[in-house]
Chains A and B, each alone.
Chain A
Amino acid sequence: MDLLAQPWPWYISGPLIGLTVPLLLLVSGKTFGLSSSFRHLASICSPNTKLSYLKENAWRKESWNLVMVAGIVIGGWIGMRFLSHHSFPLLPAEYATAQGMIKLFLGGVLVGFGTRYADGCTSGHTLMGISNLKWASLVATVCFFIGGLLITALAQIIPF
């Protein structure tokens, strides 16, 4: 039980994360990918929209995606509340300031906009797409890292 409450080492947690790909294919028959949940939610929230990207989205057929993210919320709670000795912070304390909150929001906009434009995120491209040997997904993943490395390096030179 004590081992379970420690952070799981990469050689356990990495393969367990990878197993989500076949689990979802075999059990639900679905192609893994989570960033489309934002599109579905946007479609649901604006049923009379003229925006074709939201209007021409068959979100009812893809509702499994929202069911899965609901599961992730519960899984996050279980993992922190019951499977860890102490809850630990996932974000730095600075983010609790007004400036930090704006940063989180704007970062979120980049996550939502970027993953929709790239048609996938770390789950759809990096895990599912590369596992399916798609070039587009490898390119996408390299670009995720270019973006992340770029801003991290920049933040070290000019703190913002």
Chain B
Amino acid sequence: MQNLRTFLIGIYFGIVLIKSEVVSWFRIQKMFRFEEAHMYLIITSAIVVGALSVFLIKKLQVKTVGGENIQIKEKKFQKGVIIGGILFGLGWAITGACPGPIYAQIGSGEFLAVLTFVGAFAGAYLYAYLHPRLPH
């Protein structure tokens, strides 16, 4: 049941990614060239809604629909946040896709995105291989 619900949320997210066009390389380019406010407005309004929801969930100690306590995994700072963050930014601009959109691009029939996916998969391996030697 839980998996079905998560799957449906995935479908929802995939639809919104396509219909907002944030999965389009052209939109990403216009964002990084400051030619269009579309992406900036989407990201900002998404964060506002997300932050407000998280605030309310914490404040009201809301439980999941299954009655469980909600625990949010915390992101911690380490050097990789900066170095990895910049490297990801380069890849985002080149491919026009961050991780979620890669899957939406493939699903939409943009099959060249399979190359982005294979690259990202290889990138995860590269990280796993270099992990013990990288500064964190």
Chain B residues within 8 Å of A155, by CB:
93
| B41-69 residues at the A interface, CB under 8 angstroms | 41-51, 53-54, 57, 62, 64-66, 68
Q: Mark B1-13, 1 if CB is under 8 A from A, else 0.
A: 0110111111111
Complex Cα spacing A72 to B115, Å: 17
Complex Cα spacing A19 to B93, Å: 25
Find out whether the CB atom of B91 lies under 8 angstroms from the CB atom of A111: yes
Total contacting residues, chain B, CB less than 8 A: 109
Complex Cα spacing A42 to B64, Å: 30
Complex Cα spacing A107 to B119, Å: 7
Find out whether the CB atom of A112 lies under 8 angstroms from the CB atom of B46: no
Find out whether the CB atom of B8 lies under 8 angstroms from the CB atom of A71: yes
Total contacting residues, chain A, CB less than 8 A: 116
Find out whether the CB atom of A101 lies under 8 angstroms from the CB atom of B106: no
Chain A residues within 8 Å of B8, by CB:
71
Given A28-B2, A151-B94, CB of A22 within 8 Å of CB of B107: no
Given A24-B6, A79-B108, CB of A122 within 8 Å of CB of B93: no
Chain B residues within 8 Å of A24, by CB:
6, 9
- Output the least CB separation between B60 and chain A (Å): 11
Find out whether the CB atom of B86 lies under 8 angstroms from the CB atom of A146: yes
User: For chain A, what secondary structure do more than half of its interface residues adopt (helix, strand, loop), or is it mixed?
Assistant: helix
Given A91-B96, A116-B84, A143-B86, CB of A108 within 8 Å of CB of B118: yes
With CB as the reference atom, state the residue of chain A lying closest to B42. A14
Find out whether the CB atom of A21 lies under 8 angstroms from the CB atom of B131: no
- Output the least CB separation between B121 and chain A (Å): 6
Complex Cα spacing A64 to B115, Å: 24
Given A107-B116, A110-B123, A147-B89, CB of A72 within 8 Å of CB of B17: yes
| B1-35 residues at the A interface, CB under 8 angstroms | 2-3, 5-26, 28-29, 31-33
Find out whether the CB atom of B41 lies under 8 angstroms from the CB atom of A90: no
- Output the least CB separation between B58 and chain A (Å): 9
- Output the least CB separation between A131 and chain B (Å): 3
Chain A residues within 8 Å of B115, by CB:
101, 104-105, 108
Find out whether the CB atom of B123 lies under 8 angstroms from the CB atom of A51: no
Instruction: Specify which of A11, A69, A110, A131 is in contact with B94 (CB 8 Å cutoff).
Output: A110
Find out whether the CB atom of B116 lies under 8 angstroms from the CB atom of A78: no
With CB as the reference atom, state the residue of chain B lying closest to A20. B13
With CB as the reference atom, state the residue of chain A lying closest to B2. A28
Find out whether the CB atom of B10 lies under 8 angstroms from the CB atom of A131: no
